[in-house]
Amino acid sequence: MKICVLMKQVPDKDAALKINATGLGIDTSDLTFVTNESDSYALEEALLLKEAHGGEVVVCTLGADSSLQVVKDALSKGADRGLFLRDDAFDNLDILSLSKVFAAALKDENLDLIFSGLQSDDVGNGQLGLLIAEHLNTSHASLVMETEMVGDSVIKAKRELESGWFQWTELDFPASLTIQSGINTPRYASLRGIMMMKKKTIDTKSAEDLGLNLTPQTSTTKMYIPEKTKETVYVDGTTDEIVSKLVDIFANDIKVL
């Protein structure tokens, strides 16, 4: 079984963000970057399947040079090989165009499964795994909460629906699954894993390597800090003052005491 896990480096959730000079992106100079949360769960699910059924886990990312860290971390946790899609030409591509880069890079890998986090914590399109499924003509399931192999070439995925509903879906290989956070407990890299990582292969591919010449299919016309839609009453002061003001608001304004 050959599984590819798509992973992305994103700004830390607690990072304070500023719009950059172009007005169309964020200032990344002082940001701390981390692996996208749901992607870590996707990697863990792939490693668990590999341990139970054998096979190979390839980890693939696309991004700036710093994104290589995501691949290295995944290799340290037990992924077998890295694929790094790196080209300045990818910088301004929208998700549909980016999905074509991934499809071009993965089409000859003979993958059985493609796992990705259900959405990124930065732009949050929540589309990549499904776009690739269509390009590569695979089956798919989104918002996956649990997986179970059925024989050698079918996987069952428990999907999360709205309002507490769930559904099991059977998927023929090859299949692309977008993984929900919370599905497992992602492991930490062991010291041995970190040592082994250094001997593993990471292939870097550019647009030219992939025979691609893509232009964005959407344009970002504006990026801005949203205006507040509500007038918020800020309660401030010392801790004791805040507490007494809150009790007063609960009792006399909202009337829940």
Partner 1 sequence: MKILVYIQRDGDSIGRNSIEALAGAQKFAAELSGEVMAVCLDSSLTEKLTGYNISEVITVSHDGLNTYSPLHFTAAMEQVIADVSANVVVFGHTYQVRDWAPRLSARLNAPFISDCVDADGSTGLTGIRQVYQGKINTNISAEGLVLMSFQSGAFRADSVETGSAAARTMDVDLSSVPATIRPGERFKESKGGVDLTRAEVVVSVGRGIGKEENIPLVKDLKESLGAELGSSRPVVDYGWLPHERQIGSSGQVVTPKMYLAVGISGAIQHQVGMKGSDNIVAINKDPNAPIFEIADYGVVADLFEILPKLSQSIKDYKS
Instruction: Tell which positions 105-144 bind partner 1, by CB under 8 A.
Output: 121-127, 130-131, 133-135, 138-143
Among 221, 223, 229, 146, residue whose Cα is nearest residue 183: 146
Question: For partner 1, which is the closer residue by CB, 95 or 149?
Answer: 95
| Binding residues among 160-189 for partner 1 as defined by CB under 8 A | 160-172, 175, 180-182
> Judged by CB under 8 A, which stretch of 63-71, 108-116, 193-201, 224-232 contacts partner 1?
224-232
257 binds partner 1 (CB under 8 A): yes
| Binding residues among 188-217 for partner 1 as defined by CB under 8 A | 217
Residue 95 buriedness (CB in 10 A; 0-12 / 13-18 / 19+): middle
- DSSP one-letter code for 26: B
For partner 1, the binding residue among 52, 64, 195, 247 (CB under 8 A) is 247
Binding string, 226-245, against partner 1, x = CB under 8 A?
A: x-xxx-xxxxx--xx-xxx-
CB 178 within 8 A of CB 114: no
The whole-angstrom separation of Cα 71 and Cα 83 is 8
Question: For partner 1, which is the closer residue by CB, 199 or 222?
Answer: 222
- DSSP one-letter code for 92: T
CB 26 within 8 A of CB 20: yes
| Binding residues among 69-108 for partner 1 as defined by CB under 8 A | 94-96, 99
| Binding residues among 16-35 for partner 1 as defined by CB under 8 A | 16-17, 19, 26
Among 217, 255, 6, 228, residue whose Cα is nearest residue 115: 6
